[in-house]
Every structure is written in structure tokens, then in C-alpha cells.
Structure 1
């Protein structure tokens, strides 16, 4: 047995792990108590890393499809040479745009995306299809308009915040924040801190919240607009922060002052008093933050939701400081800035759709293969992804 320390790669928190290995087998997995952030915390995903590392279905060598449909083992040299020759032939005959990639890494390990970016560059292609193209690109597009680049992302400093809003997420189960269950417990126990959950469902996180705004499904935009309108009408916005760091407030203010607050609240089904309580509480907090996820990004008004969510911490000055929302750094940027107003940014051949953060949505891929004529996609590399299982319209993919 060999003892070592490493980090989990199954979500963006990358918690520290203390492991014992027997060859390639992970014999024991525990949280690393000396890790400066996770401090020994570990969830069930990390505990099952051995299942993924040495699953019976995991391939250990290349397999090549034969004419009769069978897959037979081949050497790495054979496989790589064959792939390179085929890709070179397609690029020479049809150009780089006849090539695309799909996937590119998981939640906490995006190295696959870095490799795919290199091969797209070698092929001269911009065609990058990823599940993020249907999960997060509305949010990325808003980042481009608000902060100047689609590849700069906000994160939330939940640990230092005294007023936390969880919007469309359930960190008790999905994690996504450091030491999720311990952090939720700490907020719940502290009388000086407030936890708000906005979710149609009574989630495990909602059960721990001080306030649960149980809105009707897909009415998030109405609720957020009403709360922002309350903040502006009651003068609870941070005028000094806005004057120093923001532009265009007058247009936003006019829009929010025109919001029919009572009508919007009625659409959500949330008690009016609770909406006012949360709007005022967040605006007056020393340090407030919002954690959002797929609940508002896989729903109606997803791009608008992303914009309204960011207005909360910008208007209230809970941005760029401890306990608020902040722009995080990246060791190696995987995404990019592909503003559709830039004439150098190319669209897809059939749908004429522009990428956001360099990503195209999987839902258009079958048409780009089947319907784009001479400009169709003729070759793909799929990495860390299973389109037939996870992407929509399996019959078309088949």
C-alpha cells in the first residue's frame, strides 16, 4: 500500500483527499485534514472514485471497428496513425470546419477540453459542442455584456457571507460550495446569518433555510424583477458602488421603476411579505451573496434570469468583496470570448448559430451533420462524453 494526497475531480470544489493505493487500485479514500480549504471534508462522490477508476467497463487499449461492426483491439500506434491520416484527408478535401469536437472534461477536471482545443486549432475548426452549450451559455453571454468577456465567471463567497440566497440549487445534495453540508450547518446555527432558498421544491437545503420562497415553476424572472424593483424604489441600492464601478444605471433604474411589483409577485405565488423581507434583508446585509445553478438555467427566461441575478449584487454593492460574489481566476482558461458582434467569429453552417464562450449547443449537432450539405461535419472526436445517452433526440444521433 502507498499513501498519498491528491484532490477530487468530480466537481469544481476539488476537495483534498488522502488515499491509499495498491497499484492502480484506490484501496482507501478519505478527506485530507491538512487541505487548506476542504479541511478533511469529503462527500459520497469522492468516496466512489475507485468505481470510476477501475470500473469493469473501462477500456485499457484502443478498439477499432471492423467492417462487420465488431471492435477489435489495436495498438496505440495503429490507432493514432489511422486517426491522424483520416483527419488530414478530411481537412485537405473539405477544410477544417468539416471537423468538430464533443465533450471535453467533467465538472472538476477540464483537461479534456484543453486537449480538444489544441486539436481544433490544428484542424482549423471552431466547432466545439458541449453540454454547457445548453446549460450555462445564457449566463456566459450575460457575463460578456456585463463584465466584458464571456469567459469571466462569478462565484459566491458563502463562507464569509451573512446573507446567502440559494437560487435554483440544492447544495445539500449537489454540493458546489466548499464543504457543503458543514457550511450549511454553520449558517443555520448562526443567528447573525440568514439563509434563503428560492425553489419550487422543498429541497434538503430548503428545509434548513430561514426563509423558503417556494415560487411557482418558471416564475423566477418575475420574482427577481419584483425584488429588484423593491430595492430601487426604496432606495436600498448602493449608490456609491454604482457610481464608482458601474455604467448605465439610469436605464436599469427606469426599467425597474416600471415593474408592476404586485402583479409580478402574484404570478409567483409567494407571499408578498416574504418577498419584501428578502429584498430588504439582502440589500441591507453587510455582505450578501447568491448561489445559482441549473434550476434557473434550465428553465424559462434563462438568459434574463442570469442578468437579473447579477443585478442583485451589482446594485447592492455585494460584489468584489469578502462575503459577496466575485470574479474567480483560472489557472488555464478553457473557455473563450466569442462575441457574435465580432466579424471574425464564425457561425455554424446550417443553423448559422454563433458560439458563446466558444461553445455550440448539442441540440443543433444532428442538423449540422445531416442537413448542412457540402459544409456538413464529417468527422468528430468525442471526449469525456456520451452523446447517445445524454444529449437530446437519441434517434437522430443514431
Structure 2
């Protein structure tokens, strides 16, 4: 019998309201929840594909246990959970008896929207006396977290965008038209495009759907974001665009930053990014004319070359111009329960990598398991 149920999407932190039609355990239809006060029936393309994610041909429908010959055999959930629990207890007891750190490595937990796995994962890690936590966040966002810690005093301080109230939206390394990322993204991008007093700048190598709607699109060469952002900031400084009232009352150490920005060889850096200086100047014109600019970034600069520096420079863009902590600008928020913590100087015994926000990068996971080390990971 078909039934409709209200729920929420967990594929990003916007958590759009959903209504799903079910037939037994199968989801048969998905639509936006028009009663949801935030998203009002809006959906991006990701939840519209939930039936495919849940039912595609490669999806496992039961636990598989590896046999001695390397092949896998289906087993019941009861058997799988019982055997996994027994093996985890055995490994935990061995670690305690040997006096070694927990051999358990945890991968998952998601981030942003899908927190439930992370909460259970943290509890299991504590029980296993382990600190090895890997996930999408540890590969994508740790540079951003580290910068937040230096700028705002805590790596769990997370910034958000005032897209609904801004008169200038700057989009760097993302495509909200396809990936959402802020509330009712397509509606808001359309609203900004059609608003006579609102503008949009996009920095992206590709002419994305969002870039095609922008007032200024800077199609930089991939991997040169730091050069282009540095050049833009240098031009803002040269034109007297720094908000000295905001900087003098709300920040420390800006004179050192200003000196570094003034030393940027603007023409050389713009040429390295392979964009036209006239278009960069036009983008700076729009930035300096804005009364409320907000900057939206994502993985395009957070997983690219110079990713940590990129995260610093994109934040300087709104801090130097004083577009912070007001409606329509960037600011800190409290609506995301973080799955990460603070850096404490701890490093992996195996790789020497520092735990940033309590996380280790996924590209070191194999070494944690395969290393010839008495404290290597034994369970994943």
C-alpha cells in the first residue's frame, strides 16, 4: 500500500524538506515538502535521484561475508552483526592487553547534512579506544577548518552566506545551480540574475550553469585560484577598498596582511591565471560597489592546488572589504553540529600527519593499514 511520509534530504547541510511515497520498504516517488517553512517545496537534482541511489543494480541488499578463498557469501543481518561485534570486542581486548593504541580505523560519518553515521562512529571509536577518523570531511575541508581556527579562534567556527539578502554573490569553485549548497539555490540565483540592483561574479574554469548567468565570469586556468584571488585583493587594496573602520575595530594584524597584498605582482598573477585584466578590473568594480557582498565557495578550491591558501584568500575577500557579520554578507553560525574538533598537535604514529580538527586524510589510510608498525590499523 502506497503512503506519503515527510522527511528531509541529508545530501547536503541545507536539508531540504521532502515528501516520499513508499510501497513497503521501497521509495517510489519523491517531491518537495511545500509545508516546510525554509525550503517551501524546493528540491535540487540530488534528492530527485534518491530512488536510483537506493535501488540501482550494484546496491547491496544483504551483508556479504568474505570466505577463505576471497569470494563473498550472503549471510543474515543477525549473523553479520553478531560476528562483527565479537571480532571488535576481541580486537579491543587485545589492544588493551598489549597496551597499544586502538587498532580500529573509522571511515565515514559524512558531514554537513548526514550526521547520524558520525555520531554513532564517534561512540564506537571511543569504545574501541581509537582516534583514527577518516572521512569525506578529512579530505575536503581540513584546510578550511585550519584557517577558521586561525581567523576566528576555533576550527569548529564555520561560516555561512547571506545569499537571500546580498546585493552581490561571488561564487568560487562551485555550481549552486546543480549542487545546491544554500537554501533554494536555483530560485535565488534566478532572483539575483533578474534583480536590477543585484550582481553575481563567478570564478570557475568551466562555464557552468551558474557562470552563464553571472554578470562577470572569470574562467581561470585550473589550479590558479590563489593567484587570481591574490590579484583581486591587491587591486582592492590599491583602489582603497579596504574597510578600515571594520578592520581597525574588529581585527588584529591587518597591516602585515596589507603589506603582503601590496607586494603582489598583479599583472603577472593575472597572466598566470590566463584571464583578461579588463575583466578582473570589472569584477573589482562590482565588488567595491556592493553594499552587502557574500562569498560562496566549495570543493573546487578546497580540493585544488593551494587549497589551504585558497581558503584564507576567499575569506580575506569579505573580511578586507568589511562584508562580515551583517545581513547579506558572510558570518559565523550555530546551526551545524560539527563532527570534527580542534587540532591539538597530535600526529599519526604511522605517517606523521597531523590530525586537523581530529581528522586524518583519507589518502593516508592505506599506509595506516599496510605499514610494518606495531600500532598499525587492524580493523576498518
Alignment TM-score > 0.5, same fold: yes
Distance (Å, rounded) in 1 between the aligned partners of 2:54 and 2:237: 52
Distance (Å, rounded) in 2 between the aligned partners of 1:235 and 1:229: 10
The superposition leaves residues 166-208 of structure 1 with CA deviations (integer Å, 9 ceiling, x where unpaired) of: 1111111222122122211111111100111111111111111
- Whether the 8 Å contact between 1:96 and 1:123 is mirrored in structure 2 is no
Partner of 1:351: 351
1:373 aligns with 2:373: yes
- Whether the 8 Å contact between 1:149 and 1:337 is mirrored in structure 2 is yes
Which of 205, 215, 218 matches 2:210? 205
Distance (Å, rounded) in 2 between the aligned partners of 1:268 and 1:19: 46
1:293 aligns with 2:298: yes
Q: CA deviation at 1:60?
A: 5.1
Partner of 1:178: 183
- 1:25-64 aligned at under 5 Å gives the runs 25-55=26-56, 57-59=58-60, 61-64=62-65
Q: CA deviation at 1:110?
A: 2.0
- Whether the 8 Å contact between 1:64 and 1:74 is mirrored in structure 2 is no
Measured at CA, do residues 167 and 14 of structure 1 come closer, stay the same or move farther in structure 2, by a change above 3 Å?
same
Distance (Å, rounded) in 1 between the aligned partners of 2:51 and 2:222: 38
1:361 aligns with 2:361: yes
Which of 107, 114, 125 matches 1:109? 114
Distance (Å, rounded) in 1 between the aligned partners of 2:111 and 2:87: 27
- 1:236-247 aligned at under 5 Å gives the runs 236-247=241-252
Distance (Å, rounded) in 1 between the aligned partners of 2:224 and 2:52: 39
Measured at CA, do residues 124 and 173 of structure 1 come closer, stay the same or move farther in structure 2, by a change above 3 Å?
same
Higher mean C-alpha deviation, range 26-35 or range 120-129: 26-35
Higher mean C-alpha deviation, range 365-374 or range 205-214: 365-374
Secondary structure in 1 aligned to 2:374?
helix
Measured at CA, do residues 379 and 324 of structure 1 come closer, stay the same or move farther in structure 2, by a change above 3 Å?
same
Secondary structure in 2 aligned to 1:33?
coil
Partner of 1:192: 197
Distance (Å, rounded) in 2 between the aligned partners of 1:59 and 1:196: 43
1:164 aligns with 2:166: no
Partner of 1:261: 266
Measured at CA, do residues 227 and 21 of structure 1 come closer, stay the same or move farther in structure 2, by a change above 3 Å?
same
- Whether the 8 Å contact between 1:66 and 1:72 is mirrored in structure 2 is no
Which of 62, 69, 72 matches 1:70? 72
Partner of 1:219: 224
Q: CA deviation at 1:80?
A: 3.2
Higher mean C-alpha deviation, range 366-375 or range 192-201: 366-375
Secondary structure in 2 aligned to 1:373?
coil
Measured at CA, do residues 375 and 292 of structure 1 come closer, stay the same or move farther in structure 2, by a change above 3 Å?
same
For structure 1, the 5+ residue unaligned runs are 381-398
The superposition leaves residues 303-327 of structure 1 with CA deviations (integer Å, 9 ceiling, x where unpaired) of: 1111000011111111112111122
1:14 aligns with 2:26: no
Distance (Å, rounded) in 2 between the aligned partners of 1:323 and 1:3: 36
Secondary structure in 2 aligned to 1:160?
coil
- Whether the 8 Å contact between 1:350 and 1:372 is mirrored in structure 2 is no
Distance (Å, rounded) in 2 between the aligned partners of 1:216 and 1:59: 40
For structure 2, the 5+ residue unaligned runs are none
Partner of 1:151: 156
- Whether the 8 Å contact between 1:230 and 1:279 is mirrored in structure 2 is yes
Secondary structure in 2 aligned to 1:323?
coil
Distance (Å, rounded) in 2 between the aligned partners of 1:281 and 1:293: 22
Distance (Å, rounded) in 2 between the aligned partners of 1:231 and 1:106: 35
Secondary structure in 2 aligned to 1:149?
coil
Distance (Å, rounded) in 2 between the aligned partners of 1:7 and 1:267: 44
Distance (Å, rounded) in 1 between the aligned partners of 2:298 and 2:358: 20
TM-score norm. by structure 1 comes to 0.88
The superposition leaves residues 183-240 of structure 1 with CA deviations (integer Å, 9 ceiling, x where unpaired) of: 1111111110011111111111111111111112211111111111122222211111
Distance (Å, rounded) in 1 between the aligned partners of 2:177 and 2:353: 37
Partner of 1:133: 138
Secondary structure in 2 aligned to 1:317?
coil
Distance (Å, rounded) in 1 between the aligned partners of 2:344 and 2:245: 30
